[in-house]
Structure 1
Amino acid sequence: MERDIKILAIESSCDETSAAVVVNGRNVLSNIISSQIDIHTKFGGVVPEVASRKHIEVVSLVAQQAIEKAGITFDDIDAVGVTYGPGLVGALLVGLQYAKGLAYALNKPLVGVNHIEGHISANFIQYKDLKPPFVCMVVSGGHTYLVYMKDYGKFEVMGQTRDDAAGEAYDKVARAIGLGYPGGPKIDKLAKEGNPDAIKFPRANFHDESSLDFSFSGLKSAVLNYLNQKKMKNEDINRADVAASFQKAVVSFLVDNAMKACKLKNVDKIAVAGGVAANSCLRETLKNAGCEKNIEILFPEIILCTDNGAMIGSAAYFEYMKGTRSPLSLNAIPNLKLGER
């Protein structure tokens, strides 16, 4: 019987400081998350410098809590996994420097993890028997990808956003209609009170019909133009209808491309990852489309959709088993692409 591999993982790419202990890539012994949402809400979005300072304050405590909750000691871990990109450079550096110092002090291997790969790996925690190949849709505040997962740690990017990420568009539209930050959950909630067919917002139309890329900048601009025209005419704005119509345009784009990706790769599973994977409209629409086309739709539980250490621990395990060992000179790469090392 093979020995269990325990990974202590550190995540600090944006505004959550998280540490987790994960066994064999799928079993979570602890997943501690220190959120900064309340801090950044008053600014209307994440302030990088504020996020970095908060990471410095709590990273050591969060790691200690993860070890204690897991019921082990630091000496029991086999490796230290850590996000090194993409993300906010200052925030990444805090977690990375802590992880490097810990790996050096414990004489344990360091395994750098791509944040997007971490989001995908959250599905291995939720679904213990899940194995590649499958299509994964990564949808978050900073990223929108359609990925064909060939094998553990092997990815083919089939489509990605050419401008704004889906979650970024949610935040900007939410701000424009006065909902504040974070925009995704607030638009999702308000949209339930509106008519998704009230306003016909446009969807990006690429000249290459085979493209699985996304674009949400034009949609965002269309919403802003609609709001400005209403204000100039001194007409009432039904915010619920705006939220519902905007959300329908985003979700239909995401779902249609995901279905096309499955057809191209002849696979019958779509795993969804990232913060927008918590969106109720996306979940319902994708499940309905999956039922029509006999495609299984997989969503991690909500806590695994947002940034967290457990998903980084899962990804780090599969990299560790491939033989990946990162040098202590590893640096943060804020624009790291999926599949790059």
Structure 2
Amino acid sequence: MTDAPLVEVRGLRKHFVQNDGLIDRLMGAEERIKAVDGVDFEIERGETLGLVGESGSGKSTTARSLLRLDEPTAGTVRYDGTDLTELSAGEMKAMRKRIQMVFQDPASSLNRRKTISQLLKQPMEIHGLYEGERDERVDELMETVGLPPQFSNRYPHEFSGGQRQRVGIARALAVDPEFIVADEPVSALDVSIQAQILNLLMDLQDELDLTILFIAHDLSVIRHFCDRVAVMYLGEIVEVADGSDLFESPQHPYTKSLLRAIPEPDPALARTRTALEGEVPSPLDPPSGCSFHSRCPNATEECMATDPPLEAISGANDGHEAACIHVDEFEYGTGFVAEEAVVDERFSIEGFDHADEPVADGGRSDNE
């Protein structure tokens, strides 16, 4: 087995062109929305990398550009040594057997006119897999994600939100991928159902040796699930580190602010919460210099003129990098000590009788 990362992203950019008005189109005027602006990261085989940031930071666009669901404006995406940005449409289609995505909203990502069996068979048909064995494969997938196989003849609206997300995971697994991009897969679910889905993904990763890019805006979810964490702000990665290092000793001011915003249920352990001032700047007109300087409590005039690169931090563990001109030396203990990620047996799939019965009244439930 090679030691090279399974996924290696360099200089990834995705800019959208906006020319809404008739005069703009006639005159050829256009504005560029810099949704992703020069992102670099790697994902090792069998690893889970968390990509976290506020809404609008470019997380989902990064994922879609990585998979070429949106064509990147610039940059390279190497998967197992192959640059995906150089592949033809046919070559990319063949590569999708190895790379799949779990979408944020299972209600909108599942075709409501198809049964679960049809939805799970569709990727097999596209890639010519399991010819003559697809019914058996559907049953296997349903059992793998903790749903009764006999429910595969039902429609998405007959399931709760958590069950629909299990179907979305089963669909991603239908072609035996090596790499899964999970785009906020639990954000639309309540907390107990989130725990079930996270534990299911952890079990599947161990069982199938999956590599996962896990996108979320909730740092408490990232803390529970991910080996390493990359923090995004306004289309750029501002800090990346092992999960324990990032939570115990964040170095970038934005990461520290995100961690202070995590609710602490124990009043004795409550942290001083310092809310970030202002709104995330528009990617149509990003600030000069450091993208965070307009909200940073430590900003200086130099920050307004200097766009800092993502660099290794002196004295930190290998792989801990930050993009801030004020981070010269590693400072320990600036966050909080992360507890071990413990799988609560109450929320494991074995603790639920096939993850609830489908809802008979059209699928509305408290789990959505």
With the shorter chain as reference, the TM-score category is 0.3 to 0.5
TM-score, length-scaled by structure 2: 0.31
TM-score normalised per structure 1 = 0.33
- Structure having the higher helix fraction is 1
Per chain length, whose mean CA-contact separation is higher, i.e. which structure has more relative contact order (CA < 8 Å, sep 6+)?
A: 1
